[in-house]
């Protein structure tokens, strides 16, 4: 990565604007999963140890009306962060104005402040989400340096990342640095064999990822709802399974381009209804009935995928293999977790989103080399797209020795 990291900044005595991703799930004002807060702790603690004044901000949910504000306040996140840090975190419930400015100006070294949900600004013309120039300039005026540790929004050009970075010396936090190192390293310079596992509902969501990985991976294993579009283009019966009819020609083209790299399911778990307690059975594609839908991969597919994964040195996984939220259709996703958890000599990386949620929910959080905190960001990075939130950060300065030696 040729961008500055937080360790390249002098932060002692400075007001450090730190964009984090505290877009955590909440129910009735209670955080149900604090993983994103925990993942930001290394950067926050480093800045505190270096005597910075840490000013945190994040988005949370979508704000379309005034009624959305109370349930999407960051106050619970500030309280949870205070518990995790073991020190007070002052919460300022506004996104601009004298109250916020005074609170920041009265901060001492080693103190932490968090201000309110940046998307509160979206009620007035989507100023945050559309990277309003004046809003980015204003937020930048509140600090001396900027650190972006919100990988989950790095694929978006918002006022709270790109807008601020335009005006201040800026750097990536430890989490963003780690995400780029693992995901970027896996795709651009993998230890081989390199196997990708792709799931999820739609081929259209993963077109760019498949095309990019076809150039880089040795094998691509495809499951989830997107597999049925591929199976139909090959002439198999898929019953009422999800299928993007308009993407059948594209699926055929991808299979031809793959020249055997793409591995598809050989059996599936089907049901006549989409429900957690629906009757279901395992079948192959020649036996599926017209009124049945596929909701998971079958046991022979798991055996096939395990065989293809054997000996792999790098594995990147994005997207569940079935409707893992329903126990009856979670076996495929759980089996992949189990297989990868035993591959101790391989780098195993989950590219965020539902597959990350599934792995954590099923208790495999510590069994992977890296689980990404960013769904959309990791997906676009796997496509090979530049991430605006990263691109806007300051570049590393040339090494003192004057050569591209990497000793800086």
Catalytic residues, by residue number, are: 36, 202, 353, 376
State residue 168 phi and psi, 5-degree precision. Answer: -130, 155
State residue 152 phi and psi, 5-degree precision. Answer: -60, -20
Residue 33, CA atoms < 13 Å, CB-side half-sphere: 13
Across the strands, what pairs with 92? 115
Distance CA 76, CA 80 (A): 6
Q: How far apart are the first and last CA of the chain?
A: 12
Token look-up 């000793």 returns 407
Structure tokens at 205: 């969501």
Structure tokens at 6: 């937080």
Contacts of 392 (CB under 8 A, 6+ apart): 157, 161, 162, 165, 166, 170
Q: Are 353 and 385 in contact (CB under 8 A)?
A: no
Q: Are 53 and 111 in contact (CB under 8 A)?
A: yes
């Amino acid at each position: 990565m040729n961008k500055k990291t937080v360790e390249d900044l002098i932060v002692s005595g400075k007001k450090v604007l730190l964009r984090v991703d505290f877009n955590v799930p909440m129910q009735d004002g209670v955080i149900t999963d604090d993983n994103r807060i925990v993942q930001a702790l290394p950067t926050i603690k480093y800045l505190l140890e270096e005597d910075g004044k840490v000013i945190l901000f994040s988005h949370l949910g979508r704000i379309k009306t005034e009624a959305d504000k109370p349930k999407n306040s960051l106050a619970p996140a500030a309280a949870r962060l205070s518990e995790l840090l073991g020190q007070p975190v002052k919460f300022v419930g506004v996104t601009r104005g004298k109250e916020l400015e005074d609170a920041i100006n009265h901060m001492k070294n080693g103190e932490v402040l968090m201000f309110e949900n940046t998307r509160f600004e979206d009620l007035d013309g989507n100023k945050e989400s559309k990277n309003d120039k004046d809003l980015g300039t204003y937020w930048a005026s509140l600090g001396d340096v900027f650190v972006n540790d919100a990988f989950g929004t790095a694929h978006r050009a918002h006022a709270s990342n790109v807008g601020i970075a335009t005006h201040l010396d800026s750097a990536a936090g430890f989490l963003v640095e780690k995400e780029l190192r693992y995901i970027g390293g896996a795709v651009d310079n993998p230890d081989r064999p390199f196997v990708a596992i792709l799931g999820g509902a739609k081929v259209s969501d993963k077109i760019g990822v498949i095309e990019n990985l076809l150039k880089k991976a040795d094998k691509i294993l495809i499951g989830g709802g997107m597999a049925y579009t591929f199976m139909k283009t090959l002439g198999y019966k898929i019953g009422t399974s999800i299928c993007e009819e308009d993407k059948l020609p594209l699926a055929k083209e991808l299979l031809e381009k793959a020249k055997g790299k793409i591995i598809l399911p050989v059996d599936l778990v089907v049901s006549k209804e989409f429900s957690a307690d629906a009757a279901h059975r395992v079948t192959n594609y020649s036996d599926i009935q017209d009124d049945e839908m596929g909701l998971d991969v079958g046991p022979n597919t798991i055996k096939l995928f395990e065989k293809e994964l054997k000996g792999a040195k790098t594995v990147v996984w994005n997207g569940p293999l079935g409707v893992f939220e329903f126990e009856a259709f979670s076996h495929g996703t759980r089996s992949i977790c189990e297989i990868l958890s035993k591959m101790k000599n391989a780098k195993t990386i989950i590219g965020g989103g539902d597959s990350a949620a599934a792995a954590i929910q099923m208790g495999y959080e510590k069994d992977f080399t890296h689980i990404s905190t960013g769904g959309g960001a990791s997906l676009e990075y796997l496509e090979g797209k530049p991430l605006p939130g990263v691109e806007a950060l300051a570049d590393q300065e040339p090494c003192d020795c004057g050569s591209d030696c990497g000793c800086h």
